Every structure is written in C-alpha cells, then in structure tokens.
Structure 1
Amino acid sequence: MTDLVPLTAPARVRPALWPHLTAGGVVTRREPAHSVIRPGPQVEINPWLRLAPCSAATCIPPAARAAGRARRTARLCAGTAVLLAGLSLSPALRLAPRSWRASVIRSWAGLLLRALGVTVRISGPGTESPPPAGTPAAGGVPAAGGVLVAANHVSWLDALVVTATLPARTLAKQEIGRWPLVRTLAAVSGTVFIDRERLSALPAAIGTITEVLRQGDMVVAFPEGTTSCGTDVGPFRPAVFQAALDAGAAVCPATLRYYEGDTPSTRCGWVGDDSVHVSLMRVVATRHLRAEVRLSAPLEPVSHGRPRERRARLARAAESQVRAGLA
C-alpha cells in the first residue's frame, strides 16, 4: 500500500508532518520548514502525507478588516471559557447516551468557533448532511457500513468546523492524543487516532478506520496529508480509501473553504512554519470570518480492479469533486 511518486524539483516539508523518504532523499525527524530535500529518481513517501506547498509569507495577506485589541482580547477570553467549559463537562459526557453526547459536542464546537469570531455554514446538493449508513450511495448501491467524508485540509480549525456541522468522528495523528486538554476533548468527541509516521503501522491504522466505518459511523479524513492555504487542493493520498472499500462504506467528498465576508480568504490557513499560537492570533485578529462545508454527492462505488487501483480511483474522484467545490 506504499505509493511511489517521482520528485523533479526541491520541495518543502511542513513541520510536524515528516514523510519517510528512501532512494531519493533523506529528511530528519524534525526537519525545519526551510530545509530542502534533494530530488532523486524516485522517493517512497508515507501514504498518509504529502509535501506542503504553502507558507504564511507567500499565501496569507493582511486581514481585509482587522479586529482591534479589545475584540481580540474578548475573543481569546471567550474561547478560553468555552474550552474550559468543555473540559469540565467531559466526565459527564463520557457517561451520557451517545446521541445526547454528539449533540452537546456539536453545539460546543460551534460555540467555540463563534467565540473565536468564526461562523459556520454547511451546503450540499439537496441535503444538510451526507447520507446515513445504510442508505443508497450514488448509483443505487447500498452502503454496507458508515460514510467516509474526504475533505481538503486548510487549518487546525477544520476539525472544529466538521464537528460543528456533521455527526462525524475525525481522524487525527497519534501525537495529538498526547496533548493536554486536547486529548480529553478529542477522546470525548470520538476522535480516531492513527499512527501516520510508521509505515509498518499502516495496516493497523486502516483496520481501525475500517472497524469504525463498519459500526455505521461517519468518519472525516483529510487525504491530502497536510494543510494548505485553501486556494487549491493537493493530491489525495489513497491509503484511507482502502478502509471505505473494506467496510463497504460510501465516500462523500467535502470542500472546506474560509471567507472574510463573502470573499474567499486564506487567513485561517495553517501553513509553513506556523505554530498553532501564531495561527490562532491571526484568526482572532480577523473580522467577519466564515467557514463553509460544501458537500458533494456520494461517489459511485468502485467494484472492479485490484485494491490498489480501486482506492486510487476513489482518491482521484474525491479530489476532483473537492477541487470543483473550490471553483
């Protein structure tokens, strides 16, 4: 399930997402963002990850309307209050019925976004959400499992946005499960943690996602493997689509886009060597931010061909739909 791609020019690697390279170049575990990988005839790249194309200096302009100091301070205080409220509720939520817990978590995520100055909107072809498990996928073929939502990845805000709009569980790298505060909230919200750094852990990760989909859950994945400024979509890595094939799950593409008013904006992008703190301060300093989740119709099932070809076709089809959503 390892994917080989040629490198014909130097490329930057986003920090915190370190691909494993062989035969064409070597990158250390904590390679800084400005380091360059020397191209070779062929490199083997972790199937979860890709080389990141964006940086804050080149992709993110000043805010169209900047928030003043008082507004920035108020947003940070409100966000902290909502975050702490979520932490205080987490023990009770663990014991709550699943449907009630999901409703509270969605409301909490929306409230946290609002506290930070971000409103959310969801749109799609005649529906408010992807089809529930067991409903016909495109082409009239029933989905035997859950639904895999494949979305582009722009920001650390993405997880909050999809949590606030979809009854879904998100995929996250294993390291996030070790972060204080975030670990507790992610566990309550049903986040699925996977090891994306070790290729040897890939079959187990796919198995975990497959099992979640077979349980009838909706799972949101970001197959680009890294974030970008949101003006374009990178190649979707096909690994995660194998879980949808194994589970018989529908695949629903979703496009995430951020706006300042009615104008597309890159201010929420988490790119280059940005820390979460730097990105957070940029968000709270921008007025009239809006996040939009645009859902596409479920993809046609892929039932013929070898597994590698089938997941590659699903990845290309999902990428194409997400790219169309940005047009």
Structure 2
Amino acid sequence: MIAKLRIVLALAYVAVATLILVPLQVISMKTGLWPETVILKIWHRVILGALGIRVHVTGGPARHRPLLIVANHISWTDIPVLGAIADVRFIAKADMQTWPLVGFLSGLQRTVYIERERRRKSGDQAGEIAVRLVNGEAMVLFAEGTTGDGNMMLPFKSTLFGAATMAIADGSAREVAIQPVAIAYTHLHGMPLGRRFRPLASWIGDQDLAPHARELLESGAMDVEVRFGEPVIFRAGDNRKQTARLVEERVREQFAAALREPSYGRPKP
C-alpha cells in the first residue's frame, strides 16, 4: 500500500512539474531569454527527487571548451543524474527518438541521436557532435554503447571519439578536452548495495522502461556517485583509439574507487 502511494505521489509530482517546465523550456529555446539548461537542470532534479536518488559529486565539469564528457553507462537514470549537476547535452541511441514522451523530452534537451549499428553513418554522426562541441556545448558520450550491470564496465567504443578529430580538422578548435566521468550506484536506504544488489539500479538495453521505473519508485532512497576526472587534452595528430583506451582506463579507475570507497557513508575526518 505504501509503495503504491509513493508511486502515485511521485508520478503526480513529475506530471505537475513537467506541465509547468515544458512551456518554459520551449520559450527558452525560441527566445533565448535564459540559458536552456536552467530549466533542464530543474526538471532532472525533479526526476531524481521523485525516484529518491541522491547524487554525490566529486570534482566537476572542466571549463575547457570544446568539452566531450565520456562516462560509463548503467541506467536511463544516468541522464538525469548528470543533467541535474552539469550544463550538458546528451548523445543517445536513435530509437529513443521514437519513444512516447521520452522522445519529445529528449528533443527539448537538444539530444544528438546516433545509429551505432550503421557504421556508414558514423562519420556524419561524429560530424554533428563535432559541430556542437565547437559551438561550446559540453556533450556527454556513454562510450560503452549500452548499459552495464553496475558491477563491471564494458569496453569503450572509439568511433564517436572521432568527433574530437573533426572538431580540430577544420581549424575550428586547436584542441578538445575529453573528460572521464565515472557513475556508480552504491547505496539503497543507506545500506551498501554490494555486488549482488547493484544490478537493481541497472537498466539493461532490452528491458522495458516502465517496469524498471516502477521498481525504482518502489525502492527509493538510492545513492549514486559521480566522479569527474582530469580531462585528457586531444590535439591534432593524436590517435583516436589510443585516446579512447586512455579515457576508458581512467573511468575504470574512478568507477572501481567509487565502488570500493564511496563518499556517502564515509566517516568524516
């Protein structure tokens, strides 16, 4: 009964907030009266509040532009987690564009959609990301290409790192900062999740969104670590694949550290 009441109240909270914020976001996009990310941040925080997800941040987005933020990927909730704390745009799978409501809201975020399965289009997609980078937008790339189980990371795909090469190739930028970011879900109701229960936060790609969202609403009170690392500076002549491996190593280090010693629950000195 309590779980059902929590779901109803959370959905009502999100619905009311969305009805208020969507028109404000549309006005922002059409007029530029205020930065578009202002409303987006508020909306992402609404989602996190409804889900009961608390975010603990170490470091922050680099000020260097162009900036490509490269993170591991565990769940659809990674988007509001990062969107609530940073002025960023996202790179997402093309099929998300067709999802009811989600596709519309992603459009308000000016998401770049990619088709990872169609290699012939990878150059065009990287080119679009490069344009956005040069225009000063911080882009988030979930480089695994899919979601992990919360315990282990998958290998990074280097294709879209080519956006950094393209941003430099036409002389629009001398260098691109590529910042490694680790996301780790660590606690539920104040208790460490551990290897057995971390997959509770994970949203595997072929899983339906609604049941997973319901599970998170029922459970609530989850803690997530976000750790921003020092950016890797990518310049003309640098090797895309080698850079991808270096960034992957740094994300893995931060991810392992967040699971091993999360900031939440750590005794204060």
Kindly state the Cα deviation for residue 70 of structure 1 after the two structures are TM-superposed. Answer: 2.2
Structure 1, unaligned runs of 5 or more: 1-66, 134-145
Q: Aligned to 2:71, which of 128, 146, 151?
A: 151
Structure 2 length-normalised TM: 0.82
1:175 and 2:133 equivalent? no
1:129 and 2:54 equivalent? no
Q: Aligned to 1:281, which of 191, 205, 214?
A: 214
Query: For 1:51-200, what aligned pairs fall within 5 Å after superposition?
Result: 68-97=3-32, 99-124=34-59, 128-133=60-65, 146-200=66-120
Residue aligned with 1:251, SS? strand
Q: Segments of 4+ in structure 1 off by > 4 A?
A: 302-305
Distance 2:236 2:119 in 1: 26
1:214 and 2:214 equivalent? no
The 8 Å contact of residues 258 and 292 in structure 1, kept in 2 or not, is answered as yes
Structure 2 counterpart of 1:315: 244
Residue aligned with 2:6, SS? helix
The 8 Å contact of residues 258 and 268 in structure 1, kept in 2 or not, is answered as yes
Distance 1:326 1:192 in 2: 25
- Post-superposition Cα deviations, 1:235-276, rounded to whole Å, max 9, x if no partner, equal 000011111132231100000112323624332210264210
Aligned-partner residue type, residue 252 of structure 2: R
- Post-superposition Cα deviations, 1:41-84, rounded to whole Å, max 9, x if no partner, equal xxxxxxxxxxxxxxxxxxxxxxxxxx733223322332333333
The 8 Å contact of residues 52 and 220 in structure 2, kept in 1 or not, is answered as yes
Counterparts in 2 of 1:178 and 1:68: CA distance versus 1, 3 Å: closer
Structure 2 counterpart of 1:8: none
1:255 and 2:255 equivalent? no
Larger proportion of helix: 2
Residue aligned with 1:68, SS? helix
Aligned-partner residue type, residue 256 of structure 1: I
Counterparts in 2 of 1:206 and 1:272: CA distance versus 1, 3 Å: closer
The 8 Å contact of residues 51 and 217 in structure 2, kept in 1 or not, is answered as yes
The 8 Å contact of residues 25 and 40 in structure 2, kept in 1 or not, is answered as no
Greater Rg by CA: 1
The 8 Å contact of residues 50 and 217 in structure 2, kept in 1 or not, is answered as no
Counterparts in 2 of 1:273 and 1:201: CA distance versus 1, 3 Å: closer
Counterparts in 2 of 1:73 and 1:167: CA distance versus 1, 3 Å: same
Q: Number of residues paired by the alignment?
A: 242
Distance 1:197 1:301 in 2: 26
What is the alpha-carbon root mean square deviation over aligned residues?
Answer: 2.1
Aligned-partner residue type, residue 320 of structure 1: E
Structure 2 counterpart of 1:224: 144
Distance 2:54 2:102 in 1: 21
Kindly state the Cα deviation for residue 123 of structure 1 after the two structures are TM-superposed. Answer: 1.3
Distance 2:80 2:33 in 1: 19
The 8 Å contact of residues 151 and 253 in structure 1, kept in 2 or not, is answered as yes
Aligned-partner residue type, residue 68 of structure 1: A
Structure 2, unaligned runs of 5 or more: 168-174, 257-269
Distance 1:278 1:99 in 2: 36
- Post-superposition Cα deviations, 1:10-69, rounded to whole Å, max 9, x if no partner, equal xxxxxxxxxxxxxxxxxxxxxxxxxxxxxxxxxxxxxxxxxxxxxxxxxxxxxxxxx733
Distance 1:272 1:187 in 2: 20
Query: For 1:36-55, what aligned pairs fall within 5 Å after superposition?
Result: none
Q: Aligned to 1:296, which of 226, 229, 235?
A: 229
Identity of aligned residues (%): 29
Residue aligned with 1:165, SS? coil
